[in-house]
């Protein structure tokens, strides 16, 4: 495990499983909840991806990055997809309980954003930061209003991932000799083309911690009478995001409503209204045969769905800040670190330094530049 200056790792024993976390060497375990920030990564990654942000945040905060089950140093326990992402969110709750942290600010990226939304439905949180989150209606297989296209979530879940990528994860492939190598997946889908970093090897290392054991990534599938011929299974990471198992749109009714920061890039090709990880978008583009058309199998409007739910949250009395970054890809905290850092500090109400921005006074702020 490649750790940056000032970052340490350890294992936390919980009543559910053994969990790997990253911390900063100078952080105080007695830091109050209002200055405690918990970071949750996306699938195909680990806590290693947060290290630059951890280094950059003020020293009087306590920052903890947690490895979700089946990633990083956390135990590779199987994921019961029929619970949605509750296996993950329950693990996070158990970890914070073991660390004697009753409540905190939660930051989730991609899959981690889904976990944050589910966690907030089940437990109190101080704030939610959602970076390029999965739609509140899951990944794939829904119309704009969240209604499911088929009763078995055809075209969703574990069957959507190229088997060659899985094999390359198993082989711990660090090459760039195929589009399905983890390195090229990172370059093509995690970040915008303009991004480059001398630390790319660490970001690929994070990807290679992904467990492909039964019940982990990506998950099983099932035959379907509907196009494209397979449906979501019952175990594994991607099936946990299938819309029949995952729907966090009820967060609109939370009371009290924690403030939400939504961070996303306009060049995100993984979570977007035209994501090629959505089988129906691939069908519409002619990359999957026999697509039945937009009426029967429309691509999922992922970003639009998130905006609709967050607008309903705002209309119901919640505070929502949107940081929309022109030209950024799926990983804004790597690509536009200064803007993400400022927005996060504002979202948690950080006032520890005179130069820190005040919490936003408007319900929605759209920012597209530094």
- Do residues 127 and 347 make contact, with C-beta atoms less than 8 angstroms apart? yes
Residue closest to 64 by CA, chosen among 54, 76, 74, 73? 54
Domains and CATH numbers, the chain: 7-347 (3.40.50.1820)
Per-residue confidence (pLDDT) for residue 351, from 0 to 100: 77
pLDDT in tens, 291-323: 999 999 999 999 999 999 999 999 999 999 999
pLDDT, residue 129, reads 98
Whether 77 and 70 have beta carbons less than 8 Å apart is answered as yes
Report DSSP state, residue 188: I
pLDDT tens string 233-280? 999 999 999 999 999 999 999 999 999 999 999 999 999 999 999 999
Position 352 scores a pLDDT of 66
Pair of tokens at residue 341: 């850092």
pLDDT at res. 368: 33
Single pTM value for the model: 0.94
Q: Identify the segments of the chain with pLDDT beneath 70.
A: 352-370
The 10 Å Cβ neighbour count of residue 56 is: 14
């Amino acid at each position: 495990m490649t750790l940056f200056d000032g970052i340490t790792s350890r294992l936390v024993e919980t009543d559910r499983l053994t969990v790997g976390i990253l911390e900063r060497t100078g952080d105080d375990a007695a830091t109050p909840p209002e200055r405690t920030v918990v970071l949750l990564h996306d699938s195909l990654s680990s806590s290693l991806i947060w290290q630059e942000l951890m280094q950059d945040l003020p020293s009087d905060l306590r920052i903890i990055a947690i490895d979700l089950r089946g990633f990083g140093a956390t135990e590779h326990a199987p994921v019961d997809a029929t619970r949605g992402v509750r296996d993950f969110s329950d693990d996070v709750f158990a970890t914070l309980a073991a660390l004697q942290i009753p409540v905190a600010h939660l930051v989730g990226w991609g899959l981690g954003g889904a976990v944050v939304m589910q966690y907030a439905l089940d437990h109190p949180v101080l704030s939610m930061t959602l970076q390029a989150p999965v739609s509140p209606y899951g990944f794939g297989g829904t119309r704009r209003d969240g209604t499911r296209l088929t009763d078995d979530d055809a075209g969703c879940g574990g069957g959507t991932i190229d088997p060659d990528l899985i094999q390359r994860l198993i082989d711990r492939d660090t090459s760039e000799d195929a589009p399905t190598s983890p390195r090229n997946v990172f370059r093509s889908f995690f970040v915008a083309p303009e991004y480059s970093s001398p630390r790319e090897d660490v970001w690929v290392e994070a990807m290679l911690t992904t467990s492909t054991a039964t019940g982990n990534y990506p998950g099983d599938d099932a035959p379907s009478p509907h196009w494209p011929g397979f449906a979501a299974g019952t175990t594994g990471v991607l099936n946990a995001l299938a819309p029949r198992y995952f729907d966090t749109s009820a967060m609109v009714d939370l009371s009290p409503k924690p403030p939400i920061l939504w961070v996303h890039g306009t060049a995100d090709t993984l979570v977007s209204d035209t994501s090629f990880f959505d089988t129906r978008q691939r069908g519409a583009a002619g990359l999957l045969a026999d697509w039945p058309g937009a009426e029967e199998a429309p691509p999922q409007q992922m970003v639009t769905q998130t905006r609709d739910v967050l607008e309903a949250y705002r209309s119901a009395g919640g505070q929502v800040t949107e940081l929309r970054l022109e030209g950024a890809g799926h990983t804004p905290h790597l690509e536009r670190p200064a803007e993400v850092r400022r927005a996060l500090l504002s979202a948690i109400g950080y006032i520890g330094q005179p130069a820190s921005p005040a919490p936003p006074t408007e319900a929605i702020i759209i920012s597209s530049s530094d």
